[in-house]
Amino acid sequence: VAAAPSPSAGRVRVNEFLWKSTDGAPGPDGKSSDWIELYNPGDEAVEMGGWSILDADMLGNNYPGFTFAEGTQLAPHSFMVLMADDTPSDHLVPDSLGLTHVPFKLGKEDGVFLRDANGSSVDWIVYSAETAAGGPPSLR
């Protein structure tokens, strides 16, 4: 597993993800969705307006990402779950269950990249099918 350097205290991080969901919350097609969990370990809320989360494969191909709407905040010591179910969306719009959907799915060999409003890398994780060999396809 290629892992990102630990973000500085108080920085949002890609905390956990599931790339091969079989029992998660259903996406718009009624099937279980992949998901990405972000975590704010800091003592202050983080304004995430203009931040983006991107999907890239092991070949370096980037796919359509997701940009957080202005005013989106992640409270201190809180989590945000993004359903990676390929739902078209151009801003943060929780569904009736309070889940946010992003316009991409996670593959078995992929990367998830979190960038701030200036485009600087905040956190990332790269994984392959072997990452979870013999275990669940979820990492934290």
Burial 41-80 (b: 16+ CB within 10 A, else e): ebeeebebeebbbbbbeeeeeeeebbbbeeebebeeeeeb
69-121 pLDDT, tens per residue?
A: 898 899 999 999 888 888 766 545 555 566 777 888 887 778 889 999 999 99
CA distance linking residue 76 with residue 139, whole number of Å = 22
pTM, two decimal places: 0.76
Q: Are 90 and 78 in contact (CB under 8 A)?
A: no
First-to-last CA distance in the chain?
Answer: 11
3-class DSSP state of 129: helix
**What are the structure tokens assigned to 72, written together?**
């989106």
- CATH code linked to domain 2-132: 2.60.40.1260
Confidence at residue 97, expressed as pLDDT on a 0 to 100 scale: 62
